[in-house]
Structure 1
Amino acid sequence: MNDQNEQLDNNREEEDDNDDDDDEFFQQASFVAALIGEYAVSQLCKEPCRTSELSGHAWVQEILQGNSTRCYEMFRMEKHIFNLICTKLVEHGLKSSKRMGVEEMVAMFLVVVGHGVGNRMIQERFQHSGETVSRHFHRVLRACLKLSMKYIKPEGPTFHDCHSKIKNDQRYWPFFKNAIGAINGTHVSCVVNANEQTRYIGRKGYPTQNIMAVCDWNMCFTFVLAGWEGTAHDARVFDQALTNVNLNFPHPPPGKYYLVDSGYPTPIGYIGPYRCERYHLPDFRRSNGFANNNEVFNYYHSSLRCTIERTFGVWKNRFAILRCMPKFKFQTQVQIVVATMTIHNFIRRNAEIDVDFNLYEDENTTIHHDDYHISPNLDQSQVLNVASSLEMDHVRDSIRNKIIEYKLKT
């Protein structure tokens, strides 16, 4: 009798174990089925996302074949300039892909830098995936950097000819006949890691990269050194530009010079204003007359050197991405600065008429505070490789005396 009871108990335990195995198998099977169902719904039976009837290619063609104002508003340049820059970028390595032509790639890039929109907005407008947008953006960016080697440099390397801006303006001719351009710094917003922000947050109150640029009297950039932290003094960037031979800075030939403000040293080939005197144009507009002859020179020097402030104004007004940089890698942010300067120069040298350039060429146009960069006064305690020269002080005095003599005659 006991043996029979024991056998019954063993049978019941085996049945319970089998039930547990069945339950575990059922749970596993249900879990696998749920995963398969979820994958099928999300990947195999998912609802299409980019379904607009107007594809990116069709939209670009509609813009290029429509009213010229639409092209300027969307791509920030005239139609013939858009077509020309596409041709030049192809010459510098940009190629069509199986599913996207060069025109659509360039249009996508120009909308990003011209309007500062993010990847999602470009996905929706051009009906491409985020990966496709990013890949082609960087392809156009690389082609623009190659083009920069041709366009961000002086048009005449010997600086032999005097620009009409000086020749045709009695304020500058013949006093500044040997001035070949202006130098200044500007700040562009940037995105950096939290542990690096201290170095990049300067006077602006938000992270920026400090950029030194040289421009000619045609409002074209002839040199750029980007990527310095926002707290860096302009003189430090200037010092690096002049002393690092790998940067290919366009040094002035003998007898020629650049105009700089009081934040820079003045070695041979660079003329700054008289320090401790009024200099910036808003200061002169608030009062009538000059306190002394040094202020007369400072006024004319500031009026001419202000060309670079206006050049910054055109550049920043055209490319909204410079006012609010997306979260690219910092190296990409620096490259965007160079690429947009390249496009700026390309437009200037190929367009007979351009709305933005016409606006900022007008000296009655007010330069916004963010465009009007005032370098901090040079801290003489800084150790720089470039030192000021008494020779340039004598050149400045000579120009001042000629201006005063001319004003007395007239």
Structure 2
Amino acid sequence: MARAPPNFGVNLDDPDDARQAATAVLILSWHFQRHQVPRTRQLVHTCPFTGQGWVDDLLGGKCIRMLNNMRMNMPTFIQLCRILREGEYIIEGPCDKVTLEEGVAIALYGLSHDLTQRVLGERFQHSTETIHRHVRRLCQALVRLAPIAIRHRDTDATHPRIRNNRRFYPWFKNCIGAIDGTHVSASVPRGEQDAFRNRKGTLSQNVLAACDHDMRFVYVRAGWEGSAHDSRVLLDAISNPDAAFPTPPAGKYYAVDAAYRHMPGFMAPFKSGPGGRSQTAQKGLFNRRHSSVRNIIERTFGVWKMRFKILDGPMKNYPIEVQRNIVVACCVLHNFIREMQPYDVYLPDEINMDDGSTEGAQMPQLHVTPEALHDWKELRNAMADHMYLHRNE
């Protein structure tokens, strides 16, 4: 039978004895810390090739190295840094140990290759805290830049993509772009996972985006839970003044898929008949060409996700607010690269991204008068009939 340890005359159930014992422990602890041999602090990042040195080497090297690592060439990188500095989107402090150029490179390298903060810390020879701070700083700066970078440039003239294609013109001459939703993998606390679990069973945020015919984003709404229906996200964007949705001018419209309601400003395809019965020849031809016009948003999503691998997620190192900023920041960077680099190395390899949008239950949209809905449906019918009549021209 085990023996009970001696109590040396101390009764811990007695308040006075317990207080004296605690005092003795504190005194001994202080004495030990005062007389112990001090430990020498060892540096972790001791590589002589610093992050700034690597950035300088990239800027002075072959263009393909910048493209492979930062997703942009040297002039584009320098112009981005100039805009951030002169526009005071990033303000450099006199005591900053990391230059603006290196801080931008840290974030670009991480966003482009979905690297952990430890890997980035080793590459740039900085602590994970420094890495995290500069990624967040660039994303916040790009979110502030978004109203300038993510917008329509011209909605009056018919885009050459439409005007110069006999399959599209003149029927889609008033189409100013396309709208769709896409899912970006998300990392959320356990208590919030149900809301972010999409119909495929994975965690994601539902991102609504609109693009023009140049594959530039003209609107993005990020941060919605993965369980949210696409049309619900669009409803919020249209009805919420703070969302700043770019409503099409009168007579103009976005091409949308069957998950959205066909109404003024949004041209959807014809739906299948009861039991999945095929449409008439006119409606079938319209749907095929409409799909080709609308495919611009899928191609844009494809290039965007290939360019920034962090969008494949999950973004485990960042809270959901930062994950939302990362999505918007990547849209800004995508537009900036499209503007500065007419020849985009990702365009030849673009892929169609299909997030499985279906004709499922549609959420109620904004109130539209029955007369306006009728006129918009008649417009689509007339387009389909005229298109079929001139199908061989």
Give the TM-score normalised by the residue count of structure 2: 0.86
Contact 1:201 1:207 in 2 (8 A): yes
Query: How far apart are the structure 2 equivalents of 1:39 and 1:251?
Result: 70
Give the residue type in structure 1 aligned to 2:73. Answer: E
Match of 2:340 among 335, 346, 350: 350
Q: Match of 1:114, SS?
A: helix
Q: Match of 1:183, SS?
A: strand
Show the counterpart of 2:171: 175
Match of 2:308 among 297, 310, 319: 319
Match of 2:361 among 359, 376, 379: 379
Give the drift of 1:92: 3.1
Query: How far apart are the structure 2 equivalents of 1:39 and 1:144?
Result: 49
Show the counterpart of 1:8: none
Show the counterpart of 1:281: none
Structure number, greater radius of gyration: 1
Show the counterpart of 1:19: none
Give the drift of 1:192: 0.9
Contact 2:261 2:365 in 1 (8 A): no
Query: How far apart are the structure 1 equivalents of 2:36 and 2:382?
Result: 82
Seen in structure 2, the aligned counterparts of structure 1 residues 316 and 30 have a Cα distance that, compared at 3 Å, is same
**Where in structure 2 are the equivalents of 1:352-371 lying within 5 Å?**
352-360=342-350, 366-367=351-352, 371=353
Q: Match of 2:176, SS?
A: strand
Show the counterpart of 2:294: 305
Structure 1, unaligned runs of 5 or more: 1-24, 278-283, 285-289, 361-365
Match of 2:136 among 112, 135, 138: 138
Show the counterpart of 2:5: none
Contact 1:116 1:326 in 2 (8 A): no
Q: Match of 1:294, SS?
A: helix
Give the drift of 1:263: 0.4
Query: How far apart are the structure 2 equivalents of 1:38 and 1:271?
Result: 76
Which whole-Å deviations, capped at 9, do the CAs of 1:126-168 have from their partners, x for residues lacking one? Answer: 1112222222222212211121110111112xx1111111111
Contact 2:179 2:211 in 1 (8 A): yes
Give the residue type in structure 2 aligned to 1:330. Answer: I
Asked if residue 217 in structure 1 is aligned to residue 207 in structure 2, the reply is: no
Seen in structure 2, the aligned counterparts of structure 1 residues 245 and 31 have a Cα distance that, compared at 3 Å, is closer
Seen in structure 2, the aligned counterparts of structure 1 residues 115 and 386 have a Cα distance that, compared at 3 Å, is farther
Give the drift of 1:38: 6.7
Between structures 1 and 2, the one with greater helix share: 1
CA-based RMSD: 2.4
Contact 2:282 2:387 in 1 (8 A): no
**Where in structure 2 are the equivalents of 1:260-275 lying within 5 Å?**
260-275=256-271
Which whole-Å deviations, capped at 9, do the CAs of 1:204-225 have from their partners, x for residues lacking one? Answer: 3211001111110000111111
Query: How far apart are the structure 1 equivalents of 2:42 and 2:187?
Result: 35
Number of equivalences: 361
**Where in structure 2 are the equivalents of 1:147-158 lying within 5 Å?**
147-156=145-154
Query: How far apart are the structure 1 equivalents of 2:49 and 2:186?
Result: 34
Match of 1:161 among 157, 167, 175: 157
Asked if residue 399 in structure 1 is aligned to residue 389 in structure 2, the reply is: no
Asked if residue 237 in structure 1 is aligned to residue 233 in structure 2, the reply is: yes
Show the counterpart of 2:9: none
Seen in structure 2, the aligned counterparts of structure 1 residues 357 and 398 have a Cα distance that, compared at 3 Å, is same
Asked if residue 110 in structure 1 is aligned to residue 108 in structure 2, the reply is: yes
Contact 2:217 2:331 in 1 (8 A): yes
Query: How far apart are the structure 2 equivalents of 1:407 and 1:385?
Result: 35
Give the TM-score normalised by the residue count of structure 1: 0.83
Asked if residue 91 in structure 1 is aligned to residue 86 in structure 2, the reply is: yes
Give the residue type in structure 1 aligned to 2:66. Answer: C
Asked if residue 55 in structure 1 is aligned to residue 50 in structure 2, the reply is: yes
Query: How far apart are the structure 1 equivalents of 2:215 and 2:37?
Result: 57
Give the drift of 1:60: 0.5
